[in-house]
Amino acid sequence: MKKISLIGLILVTAFFNAAMARSGQYDEDARAQEKTQKQFTQEARAPEKRTPLKTIGSGIKEITYDNVRDVTKDTTQGAVSKTPVIGTLDGTQQAGEKVVDNTIRGVKKVASLGLAKDDSYTIEEAEKGSGDAAKIKLFQF
């Protein structure tokens, strides 16, 4: 008697599982729920990693190495693509914009001790003929 009731229970369980699997809804809902659950656990486990020394190091690299690399690369490409004098001047001008950008971003990383979350900044140009310098705002408050 026990064997018959055990076999019946197994057959009923298999029937319900097969019915749910055929509809596809159970699998999709379960997968979506597992996916959101994994995302929550990953976000809870992984606190924001801040390594100030690495960020300061990358800021110094940006100020020094990246600037030299960009100037050399852009000046050389300009000289090769156009006539030597005009190409060199155009390449140097393009590299100058990258140098300013790299320098500002690198200084921001170093000045904030690597704790700044974004690399954005704004430059306010001075009025022409005023004799004032441009103002660079590193941090937006």
Q: Is residue 11 part of a domain?
A: no
Residue 140: pLDDT over 70: no
Q: Is residue 45 part of a domain?
A: no
Please give the structure tokens belonging to residue 79: 């000289």
- Strands (E) in 26-139, as ranges, are 122-124, 135-137
Q: Quick one: which of 41, 45, 21 has its CA closest to 33?
A: 41
Please give the structure tokens belonging to residue 28: 């999709």
Number of domains composing the chain = 1
The predicted pLDDT at position 112 comes to 81
Q: Across residues 123-129, what is the average pLDDT?
A: 83
Q: Is residue 23 part of a domain?
A: no
Q: Is residue 125 part of a domain?
A: yes
129 in the Ramachandran plot: left (φ > 0), alpha (ψ -120 to 50) or beta? left
Cα–Cα distances in angstroms (integers) from residue 121 to residues 63, 76, 109, 110, 134, in the given order: 16, 29, 12, 14, 13
Helix (H, G, I), strand (E, B) or coil at 111: helix
Q: Is residue 75 part of a domain?
A: yes
Residue 134 carries which DSSP code?
P
Q: How many CB atoms lie within 10 A of CB 82?
A: 14
Q: Is residue 73 part of a domain?
A: yes
Q: How many CB atoms lie within 10 A of CB 25?
A: 10
| Domain enclosing residue 127, as ranges | 52-137
Residue 25: pLDDT over 60: no
Q: Is residue 32 part of a domain?
A: no
Q: What is the mean pLDDT of the chain?
A: 77
Residue 49: pLDDT over 70: no
Q: Is residue 38 part of a domain?
A: no
Residue 133: pLDDT over 80: yes
Amino acid identity of residue 106, one-letter, is G
Q: Across residues 95-107, what is the average pLDDT?
A: 83
Residue 107: pLDDT over 60: yes
Residue 6: pLDDT over 80: no
Q: Which of 26-30, 88-92, 118-122 comes out lowest in average pLDDT?
A: 26-30
Q: What angle do CA 121, 125, 131 make, to 5 degrees?
A: 135
Q: Across residues 19-44, what is the average pLDDT?
A: 71
Residue 26: pLDDT over 70: no
Q: How many CB atoms lie within 10 A of CB 108?
A: 19
Percent of the chain with pLDDT over 70: 84
